[in-house]
Structure 1
Amino acid sequence: MRSAVLHRSGSVRPYAASAPLKLEELTVPTPRAGEVLVRIERASLCHSDLSVIDGSRPRPLPMALGHEATGVIDDVGPGVIDVSPGDHVVLVFVPSCGTCRACDAGRPSLCHRAAEVNGSGDLLHGPAILRSCHGARINHHLGVSAFSEYAVVARESVVVIDDDVPFAVAAMFGCAALTGMGAVLNTAQLMEGQSVIVFGMGAVGLTAVMAAAHLRGTTVIAIDPLEQKRELALRCGASVAGSPEQAAALVAELTGDGVDVALEAVGSAAVMESCLALLTRGGALVSVGLPHPDQSITTQALQFAGAGKRLLGSYMGDSIPDRDIPRYLDLWRAGDLPVELLHTDTRPLSEINQALDDLADGLVVRRLFNMTG
């Protein structure tokens, strides 16, 4: 099978010239106990993939990248009895073990075992199974490695969906929708009539806008430096959209004394600090972006106890995939979650390095890849 493999992080731009991802022939793996083989139909490029390539998110290399995808189950390993070949699935990048402290607490997105194996490039039920044609180990990306024609994943990494959901839609539910929608509905628990400001109109920020906009009477302020992203945010349901320089004035105009929720989907410590200043008393900052590990925030400590402000981390939107993906697909069917607006285009996998530059430049929101191209 063909797969996009990263051998060295910290590549310099333009990526189209340095070509950090190499299309290589890997051996199609056979699923072991507790695993399934998925034929990848569509995979999409996410900033988290870019973070591995530029070194912001160190991972063991070589690694077959890609973590947001949809496909069809081709085979199942021993002990897998609740899914079958032919089932359409969305792949999920946190394969919760179901028994650790976080899973017992109903927070599978923070599964301890999943964090361990995702960090080591292994799978939930065993060591890395991907191999080059010469037998060399290739690490898995977040238990998925979706920029491949096939992926062996843990059974816990797939959610079965109805066959009528187009692959171009389903592909965005494994990361963007889970993270953005979940940050608003699960982490922040935004309520009808409240106000929210969202920084960063990538796919996660835009799905957060959609989630907030579908609640009755909410005020949704979208912030991004790029005009085309702000225009897209308005189409996704934002009440108003502006540049970072306009954020404070928009909050003052629309809320008077600050927003109930500020959502940071940029990956910037500086933006997190500015978000805290825009909160009303008792408001919550939800951190969704992935800043470089070297970044830190400095803020007045008194505003937490003195003004009741909260700083909430949100990984995968605090989602429970088996519950939330069907629920979000219902919102899509009702027209309340128009993720089609995020689909920039579909390209062959051979163009993936150029796509890295386009994503870094803000020219695309979600570029999908057809594994047969």
Structure 2
Amino acid sequence: MQTRGAIVRQVPGKYEVVDLEVDDPRENEVQVKMVASGMCHSDDHVATGDIPVNVYPFAGGHEGAGIVTKAGVNTKGLKEGDHVVFSFLPSCGHCRWCASGMQNLCDLGAGLLDGARWGSPGDYRLKLTETGQGVGQMCGISTFLETTTVSADSAVKVPDDIPLDKACLVGCGVGTGWGSAVNSAEVQPGHTVIVMGIGGIGINAVQGAAHAGASNIIAVDPVAFKREKAQELGATHAVESMDEATELARQFTNGQGADSAIVTVGVVKPEHVAQAFGAIRKAGTCVVTGLGDVTEVGLPIAVSELTLMQKRLQGSLFGASNPNWDILRQLQLYREGVLKLDELVTKTYSLDEVAQGYQDMHDGKNIRGVIIY
């Protein structure tokens, strides 16, 4: 069928909206009419080239929710009319990682930036209407489309009463940030936590640290608006720099340092990790969640400090979530008024305004922009 979607043709580039053909669902696939899509920084990384993909043109978007309009066979119980949130990381359910409770590391994730069907190089669900050229799908889903066709491994059925324009956020940003604190940093009651960078991920790391019972949550961002939002969603303190945050953490801990520091900067540089690593106590945890240039290698940290102070440097993908469970439990927390989603949405956009949405993100105006279809 015909649809419209936002693609990048080359890098560096900007998203433009074009006419596309989208395949009908095959076995283990569903077609979904999109309701809303969050605008995550990772899609901007694709446009800048910080995250290289296998094929161009490439359709963006990986944080979305919609309603199933068609279903193939063997779709894990998904059927027409179901409300779904996409997990940007698919879960096959039977690889080593899924079977051991680490769905975020599912082997299907190897194809996230390939753009084609899992295990079928060159087999694209999308084509340009004007030329018939194949178009890659971001994370196999591409939520910057009015209608998309995806693997059932990427869709989680959610209750019909939860608004999809808010539920879409748990498909990436909420789970990634919240899980970075709860799962990866293992925040406990009474802890002192630094969250470095208050965007769509960092704001949810703040929420996660608050839910886990941290006594001191120090949000770090040079943008005053983002510091204010952090305090609205659980931060006890908000400062402009890591120097200030480190000093505060030491004041709260008799000079020891933060129990954990979570790096959620939009474009992570090695020095960001070093600053966070230096801010934590002995046996503390530095969680690196944000992304930058994926080809950059090396961290300016002392190996002796890693060894002799027994610090832990921990990567975090999707907040170490199990999406088939965590998406549903986070939506239940939202339903109970514990997890804030409405407050995360700074501004909504139409699909045709996708480029403006990312400009607003760069200008520090958004915590999370959301495209409404």
Identify the TM-score tier after normalising by the shorter chain. Answer: over 0.9
For residues 186-265 of structure 1, the aligned pairs below 5 Å read 186-244=183-241, 245-256=243-254, 257-265=256-264
| Count of matched residue positions in the alignment of Structure 1 and Structure 2 | 362
Match of 1:178 in 2: 175
Match of 1:273 in 2: 274
Task: Determine the C-alpha separation between the residues in 1 that align with 2:217 and 2:341.
Answer: 17
Is the contact between residue 168 and residue 343 of structure 1 (CA under 8 Å) also seen in structure 2?
no
Find 1:2's aligned residue among 4, 13, 17.
4
Match of 1:128 in 2: 124
Amino acid paired to 1:276 = F
> 119-128 or 238-247, which moves further after superposition?
119-128
What is the deviation of 1:305?
2.2
What is the deviation of 1:109?
1.0
Is the contact between residue 125 and residue 154 of structure 1 (CA under 8 Å) also seen in structure 2?
no
Is the contact between residue 182 and residue 212 of structure 2 (CA under 8 Å) also seen in structure 1?
no
Task: Determine the C-alpha separation between the residues in 2 that align with 1:89 and 1:136.
Answer: 29
1:147 pairs with 2:141: no
Q: Deviations over 1:128-166 (max 9, x none)?
A: 211122321011111111111111111010111111111
Find 1:51's aligned residue among 38, 45, 50.
45
**RMSD over aligned Cα, in angstroms?**
1.4
SS of alignment partner, residue 22 of structure 2 = coil
Task: Determine the C-alpha separation between the residues in 2 that align with 1:114 and 1:191.
Answer: 30
Cα pair distance change 1:330/1:366, threshold 3 Å: same
Q: Deviations over 1:208-267 (max 9, x none)?
A: 101111233532111101111000000001011101142222212222311111100012
| Sequence identity percentage | 33
Task: Determine the C-alpha separation between the residues in 1 that align with 2:269 and 2:341.
Answer: 25
1:290 pairs with 2:287: no
Q: Unaligned regions of 5+ residues in structure 1, if any?
A: 12-19
Task: Determine the C-alpha separation between the residues in 2 that align with 1:247 and 1:193.
Answer: 17
Is the contact between residue 22 and residue 125 of structure 2 (CA under 8 Å) also seen in structure 1?
no
SS of alignment partner, residue 26 of structure 1 = strand
Is the contact between residue 219 and residue 227 of structure 2 (CA under 8 Å) also seen in structure 1?
yes
Match of 1:32 in 2: 26
Instruction: Report the TM-score when normalising by structure 2.
Output: 0.94
Match of 1:14 in 2: none
Is the contact between residue 35 and residue 125 of structure 1 (CA under 8 Å) also seen in structure 2?
no
Instruction: Report the TM-score when normalising by structure 1.
Output: 0.94
1:357 pairs with 2:359: yes
Task: Determine the C-alpha separation between the residues in 2 that align with 1:81 and 1:207.
Answer: 30
Runs of 4+ aligned residues of structure 1 deviating over 4 Å after TM superposition are none
Q: Deviations over 1:74-128 (max 9, x none)?
A: 111122251111111111111122333333332121122322x213112336432
What is the deviation of 1:295?
5.0
Is the contact between residue 34 and residue 77 of structure 1 (CA under 8 Å) also seen in structure 2?
yes
Amino acid paired to 1:226 = V
Amino acid paired to 1:237 = G
> 158-167 or 197-206, which moves further after superposition?
158-167
Find 1:97's aligned residue among 92, 103, 108.
92
What is the deviation of 1:67?
0.6
Q: Deviations over 1:332-367 (max 9, x none)?
A: 122221121110121111111111211112111111
